Amino acid sequence: MSAFDITTALDDSAVKRLEAAIAPDWRSRALRWAYGLGFTAVMIYAAYVSEVLSPKIFIGLPKLGDALWLMLQPSGFNYLPEFLWALCETIAMAFLGTLLGAIVALFLAIFCARTTFPLAAFRFGFRRFADGMRTFDHLIWALVFVRAIGLGPLAGILAIALVDAGTLAKLYSEAIDNSDPKPVEGVRASGGSWLDGLRIGLLPQVLPNILSSTLYMWESNTRSATILGIVGAGGIGYQLADRLRVYEFGQASLMIIMIIAAVYLIDMLSGWLRRMLIGRTSR
């Protein structure tokens, strides 16, 4: 029943007729119920499988309270220089990773776009290659690289670059596919080479889009890079995971505050760069 008090304005029979007229028929009502019940059943099952419906949750809640209480009191300020350096490492990893990824993506995108690479079969292959790179999370690649080339930020940089190359190749190639082919044809028609066509005909069209995606990935990578240290790939994540594993919640909380501040700063910087480079045509 709706909560509107229309009964004062209409008599009982009129209300009944009105409700009968706008009520859904039994079929759509049954369907709605079936959907609702099915959805609820699936959710209960999912909750059961992921142990949300288990006594563990009641046993753990007081401990969670303890942890949160400790996290409200940031501590370990004497480690601040160490933490700051690790944070700088994280930011540097995200920056270099995005840069490397963008460079690779720029070449890959040319082979993934319809307008610049006409061989459909190869293009399909290049696209799946890019898909393969970005399907797995940074952390999986970081773990692989840590195993292959050792602990340290280099593994993290490579992991970010790899995922970025895949993601940005997709975004860049979409930008290229959405561009107008006429300027390129014009350059070719007046005697320009294939490269001239890309440089003079295509690049000015897609550059704002490319810069915007890259800046977006930079922001996103700064967030991702904060945890790569959990598997040993450099940055503040290493210290953070380390402190959390020995239940030093106060120090962890200090690092989390620093991470949040750094992410804010990078977002602001990226926004400023976006306005500087692209003007108001940003996303």
Partner 1 sequence: MAVMNSGITILIQPETRAEALAVFDKTSQAHAQSNFRKTSLGIIAFAAAVALAAHVSQFDLMRLITGLPRIGDFLSGMVPRLTADNLWADLVYWYWGLDKWLYLLWTTLMMALFGAVAGTTLGAIFSLFAARNLGAPRWSVFFVKRMLEIARTVPDLVFALVFLFAFGLGPLAGVLAISLHTLGAQGKLFAEVNENVDMRPLEGVRACGGSWLDEMTVGLLPQVLPNYISYTFWRFEINVRSATIIGFVGAGGIGMELYEAISLSYFDDAGAILLLVFITVMLIDIASEALRTKISNVRAVT
* Residue with smaller CB distance to partner 1, 8 or 78: 8
Binding-site member from 139, 165, 169, 254 for partner 1 (CB under 8 A): 139
Alpha-carbon distance of 200 to 115, in angstroms, equals 15
Q: Does 172 bind partner 1 (CB under 8 A)?
A: no
For 214-267, give the DSSP string: HHHHHHHHHHHHTTGGGGT-SSHHHHHHHHHHTT-HHHHHHHHHHHHHHHHHHH
Q: Does 99 bind partner 1 (CB under 8 A)?
A: yes
* Residue with smaller CB distance to partner 1, 20 or 59: 59
Q: Are 145 and 155 in contact (CB under 8 A)?
A: yes
Q: Does 89 bind partner 1 (CB under 8 A)?
A: yes
Q: Least distance in Å: CB of 82 to partner 1?
A: 14
**Mask of contacts with partner 1, 140-169, x by CB under 8 A?**
x--xxx-xxxx-xxx-xxx--------x--
Angle between helices 249-278 and 203-225 (to 10 degrees): 170
Q: Are 130 and 108 in contact (CB under 8 A)?
A: yes
* Residue with smaller CB distance to partner 1, 184 or 270: 270
What single letter denotes the amino acid at residue 112?
C
Applying the rule CB under 8 A, the residues between 59 and 88 that interact with partner 1 are 59-61, 63-64, 67, 71, 88
Applying the rule CB under 8 A, the residues between 221 and 240 that interact with partner 1 are 223-224, 226-227, 230-231, 234, 240
Q: Taking contact as CB under 8 A, which single stretch among the options 105-113, 115-123, 195-203, 252-260 is the one that binds partner 1?
A: 252-260
Binding-site member from 43, 84, 119, 207 for partner 1 (CB under 8 A): 43
* Residue with smaller CB distance to partner 1, 175 or 184: 175
Q: Least distance in Å: CB of 167 to partner 1?
A: 6
DSSP letter at 208?
Answer: H
Structure tokens at 262: 């750094």
Q: Least distance in Å: CB of 258 to partner 1?
A: 12
Determine the longest span between alpha carbons in the chain, in angstroms. 83
Angle at 232 between CA 144 and CA 139, to 5 degrees: 50
Nearest to 162 by CA among 135, 190, 200: 135
Q: Does 280 bind partner 1 (CB under 8 A)?
A: no
Q: Least distance in Å: CB of 171 to partner 1?
A: 7
Q: Least distance in Å: CB of 94 to partner 1?
A: 9
* Residue with smaller CB distance to partner 1, 110 or 236: 236
Q: Least distance in Å: CB of 245 to partner 1?
A: 7
Angle between helices 249-278 and 56-71 (to 10 degrees): 70
Residue entry with tokens 């790569």:
228
Alpha-carbon distance of 159 to 166, in angstroms, equals 11
Q: Does 57 bind partner 1 (CB under 8 A)?
A: yes
Residues in the chain, overall count: 283
